[in-house]
Structure 1
């Protein structure tokens, strides 16, 4: 098969920027080779970001305006990426998730904005968009879609993406052994697991960050886990903590779901000569789901304390001490004990949720609050990862405090060490999803859908739509290469 250049576009729950990555992809037998072609990011206009953060209360007029303005912003990002990185054959856009509707553990719908016609008009290229809806219609959660990338790319490692919500992709042998996922039983009593992880909370909260190859991290606007100063105590206001008020954004990435325990061990085979599937008929089938908050509560706390969108360099968290009473309270959230499939998002883990928790404990200083939230993210991720090496990506890897906490609980590396930039992985995931659809290959990200589906809708570009002949083989592996035909970054 000829090389196909796909530009992937996505904006995660931080709503700070649109990530774009250009990938060269080629299907050879049952292996997709992916050569990273570079990545960039283009920020949203500040007023548009503010509107997006308030999108939950939009009326139809405001929703229409947002869909148009986000589409225009994505079009601008695509044009910028093509100018900087080179021409593409097709564009894939995951858009901007503004709502993810989950009730009683079932995803009922999902809404991504960013009208693809603006992208097609600006670039002249065909655009594949709305990549989550078909998975939801087939019974899945539509998130995290990263499980597809991870299942094909990694072998025995657990893949972790830390966006606003953290999600992982597990090897299925761990999924099978526990029945739901490792963290379900470990957290079933609420705080006991936290006590086990808090052998020395004060030391951990103040611990430094190992910048060696095993624990790489840099600054990431996707993480936005940065703040400056402590403005002191807690805000007593409360929010909606109804456990049914949950949803997921994938982030970067981002973008965020699970595999149905009845489906997770099923081999994915051909669905017809012109509609092949991604799969793995061996023992390495994997399941993907949201573990809980990644950066969501950290960012909310940073903005509440300092007016900044993130805790710069994790400085505030590193200066604090874990408050066990608050951590134990937060770990009582029913979400951590739900079985898979499940997904969550900022509809649940938000500033109102945090303020409600703070109102139930004695006053918490800013640094201690940040240190406790870092530990919450680290503990809930570690509980789900079952002792395997973890390959991390997403904005959270650029928060030194969070990476230090994770390194104390896990054997962790970043995806950079394996050839995929950690701050661009979800954009490369989007490119992969576009490649699959463009070539007639059904995808199953193991979020609970009833089998593989062709994902997305296609908006033609300037020229008549000429798609390649559908693939006739089942895809079983993704191989990241330095260049197509060149040396492998990871076999």
Structure 2
């Protein structure tokens, strides 16, 4: 089965696309990485996506329009991917997260928009989407959803797989009591917000701003005192918590600006990631996501982590395409009726759900199919039975 995975993360910088071919024999699943690429967002649409995220306010009309326009953008990206990589049997679309609802450490819901009907209409291919909510309904966090991919790929050795997107998340595999997964906190989101607000840049490009500054230890201590960082895994969060005003809310009595702001936020990411991973006693850390292109952040992580830091590229998986390949696998597992999350401690799913669940909902192929033969429907009431 050939599956196209589509993913846009919390940074909303592009739609990542990846095509994989799956085959099974003798209890082994082979995944051939056939093609990957990305479709940059239209700048106007990206601005509107970021513009509805907290702390901004928005209307139901905004979200309805984005659901359609993002779905159409995903459909165009899928069509372009298929034109280049060849036909696929299934599309697995994560969509674009607008809100991940967590209260008192428990996930209550998660909204990804980009209606799959537009993807199906553009490609004539069935689409699996809405991957997170089944896990949340079973008591889990619905995030991160990389545990099955990570355990199947590198689970023979105690390994922490780190994703540095807008939010940083980690999955630890190869442990005797099952996988462990969760969000560690901000990776790029606070840095990106500051770069845009103060310099008109999409990010701290190359970590240059942070490298020119010094860590403000008082400010860092206040940020690290956020109760979120003391929560055990599994845990989840998003840009609705670490939003563009997060730093100002936390640092009411501290002035943090210029290059020191970027140095401190980079250190916040590095320390919160290292704190989680170093407790797991792993033999290696394998990183992916946009943050690996920030050399200063990678230097700080390497200095703080107790295990060697590698990138997914060094182990044969394109780092920038990892999440799209993850969703290709999740789509295949859904289509074949298998759970998308592995077992963690205590027999629960790694996300904290009471049990691993089959993820996603199906939008079947419809256009181009032969019309169903006309039939009549005869209704019978209970008294006639």
TM over 0.5: yes
Change (3 A) 1:464 1:151: farther
Cross-structure match for 2:81: 81
Determine helix, strand or coil for the equivalent of 2:151: helix
User: Counterparts of 2:162 and 2:110 in 1: how far apart (Å)?
Assistant: 22
Cross-structure match for 1:66: 66
**Is 1:367 matched up with 2:369?**
no
User: Counterparts of 1:13 and 1:360 in 2: how far apart (Å)?
Assistant: 29
Cross-structure match for 1:148: 148
- Map residues 147-186 of structure 1 onto 2, 5 A cutoff: 147-155=147-155, 156-171=158-173, 173=175
- Map residues 325-344 of structure 1 onto 2, 5 A cutoff: 325-344=218-237
TM-score, normalised to structure 2, is 0.88
- Map residues 204-243 of structure 1 onto 2, 5 A cutoff: none
User: Which of 353, 363, 377 is matched with 1:459 structurally?
Assistant: 363
Cross-structure match for 2:47: 50
Cross-structure match for 1:302: 195
Deviation at 1:133, TM superposition (A): 1.1
Cross-structure match for 2:288: 393
Determine helix, strand or coil for the equivalent of 1:441: coil
User: Counterparts of 1:444 and 1:407 in 2: how far apart (Å)?
Assistant: 29
Equivalent pair of 2:339/2:359 in contact (CA under 8 Å): yes
**Is 1:285 matched up with 2:182?**
no
**Is 1:380 matched up with 2:272?**
yes
- Map residues 195-206 of structure 1 onto 2, 5 A cutoff: none
Higher mean C-alpha deviation, range 69-78 or range 406-415: 406-415
Determine helix, strand or coil for the equivalent of 2:320: coil
- Map residues 88-107 of structure 1 onto 2, 5 A cutoff: 88-107=88-107
Deviation at 1:352, TM superposition (A): 1.0
Determine helix, strand or coil for the equivalent of 1:339: coil
- Map residues 32-43 of structure 1 onto 2, 5 A cutoff: 32-43=29-40
**Is 1:449 matched up with 2:353?**
yes
Cross-structure match for 2:247: 354
Cross-structure match for 1:479: none
User: Counterparts of 1:35 and 1:369 in 2: how far apart (Å)?
Assistant: 43
Deviation at 1:340, TM superposition (A): 2.8
Name structure 2 gaps, 5 residues minimum: 343-349, 371-385
RMSD: 1.6
User: Counterparts of 1:382 and 1:291 in 2: how far apart (Å)?
Assistant: 9
Q: Deviations over 1:84-120 (max 9, x none)?
A: 2222111000000111111111111111100101111
Higher mean C-alpha deviation, range 48-57 or range 77-86: 48-57
Determine helix, strand or coil for the equivalent of 2:245: helix
Determine helix, strand or coil for the equivalent of 1:444: coil
Higher mean C-alpha deviation, range 25-34 or range 115-124: 25-34
User: Counterparts of 2:294 and 2:248 in 1: how far apart (Å)?
Assistant: 23
User: Counterparts of 1:296 and 1:68 in 2: how far apart (Å)?
Assistant: 25
Q: Deviations over 1:375-397 (max 9, x none)?
A: 11011111111242100011111
Higher mean C-alpha deviation, range 443-452 or range 345-354: 443-452
User: Counterparts of 2:108 and 2:139 in 1: how far apart (Å)?
Assistant: 9
Equivalent pair of 1:147/1:168 in contact (CA under 8 Å): no
User: Counterparts of 1:456 and 1:119 in 2: how far apart (Å)?
Assistant: 15
Name structure 1 gaps, 5 residues minimum: 174-282, 466-491
Cross-structure match for 1:126: 126
User: Counterparts of 2:101 and 2:223 in 1: how far apart (Å)?
Assistant: 23
**Is 1:7 matched up with 2:9?**
no
Larger relative contact order, structure 1 or 2 (CA cutoff 8 Å, min sep 6): 1
**Is 1:111 matched up with 2:111?**
yes
Cross-structure match for 1:276: none
Cross-structure match for 1:23: 20
